[in-house]
């Protein structure tokens, strides 16, 4: 690997973290020594890269720093295509269209050699278990989450009882066998997981829940023992 490529890779790794990352972690991911990471960080800083931190504390690329355009590797292109193909198999037409448009935008800026690589299909999403039909459009649930509104639902619980709940929708999970809605339930005063195929009524109110969706998501993750997402976009 050339030094120029290594510097680009280091910038890319830093961009993928929203919290300071240790030089030892960067060195392991790049396959170089910690001393090399220190030298490369200093080089990038001298060339104008806004990298905060120092040895022993970790490094963080400031979010307003613009990276030069980077080419995708073959594996990255295949991963993007695989992910888009998986999304297109879900019961969400808006997400299907968004995935197709995203791939088209990526293909439009690729050089011809990489376009050929992207068109080569070496991996494919196989058939999955058929999900139960849903009465509530997934796009409507995603909109509720995005707007942060309180929702009234009628739900068939695990005991096959029809219950009425008032919830704060937080996260929509695309599971293998069903779609799962994570929400704060005012009735239970706790986070609950609702299968979307068991939602019989779904009505948005004109109220916004008092916390942000990100705050609720972090609280749910803490309960579940899920670390906060370290990836920064």
Per-residue pLDDT tens digits for 31-47: 999 999 999 999 988 88
Q: Which residue has the higher pLDDT, 209 or 228?
A: 209
Q: State if pTM tops 0.75.
A: no
In what helix (H) or strand (E) does residue 180 lie, and over which residues does it extend?
Answer: strand 179-185
When pLDDT is cut at 50, 70 and 90, the band that residue 233 belongs to is very low
Classify burial at 131, counting beta carbons within 10 Å of its beta carbon; exposed 0-12, middle 13-18, buried 19 or more. middle
CA distance 180 to 134: 11
In what helix (H) or strand (E) does residue 181 lie, and over which residues does it extend?
Answer: strand 179-185
pLDDT at 232 over 50: no
CA distance 150 to 105: 35
In what helix (H) or strand (E) does residue 80 lie, and over which residues does it extend?
Answer: helix 74-88
Largest CA distance in the chain: 65
pLDDT tens column, 184-195: 999 999 999 999
pLDDT tens column, 82-97: 898 888 888 888 998 8
């Amino acid at each position: 690997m050339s030094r120029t490529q290594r510097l680009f890779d280091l910038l890319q790794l830093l961009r993928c973290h929203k919290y300071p990352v240790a030089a030892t972690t960067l060195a392991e991911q790049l396959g170089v020594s910690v001393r090399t990471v220190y030298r490369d960080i200093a080089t990038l800083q001298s060339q104008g890269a806004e990298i905060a931190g120092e040895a022993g504390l970790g490094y963080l690329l400031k979010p307003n720093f613009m990276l030069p355009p980077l080419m995708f590797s073959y594996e990255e292109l295949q991963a993007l295509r695989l992910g888009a193909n998986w999304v297109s198999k879900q019961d969400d037409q808006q997400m299907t269209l968004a995935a197709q448009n995203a791939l088209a935008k990526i293909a439009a800026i690729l050089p011809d050699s990489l376009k050929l690589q992207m068109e080569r299909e070496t991996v494919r999403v196989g058939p999955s278990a058929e999900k139960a039909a849903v009465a509530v459009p997934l796009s409507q649930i995603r909109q509720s989450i995005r707007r942060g509104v309180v929702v009234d639902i009628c739900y068939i619980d695990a005991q096959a009882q029809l219950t009425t709940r008032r919830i704060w929708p937080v996260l929509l999970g695309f599971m293998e066998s069903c779609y799962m809605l994570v929400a704060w339930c005012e009735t239970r005063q706790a986070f609950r997981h609702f299968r979307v195929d068991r939602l019989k009524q779904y009505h948005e109110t004109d109220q916004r829940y008092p916390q942000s969706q990100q705050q609720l998501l972090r609280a749910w993750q803490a309960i579940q023992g899920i670390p906060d997402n370290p990836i920064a976009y």
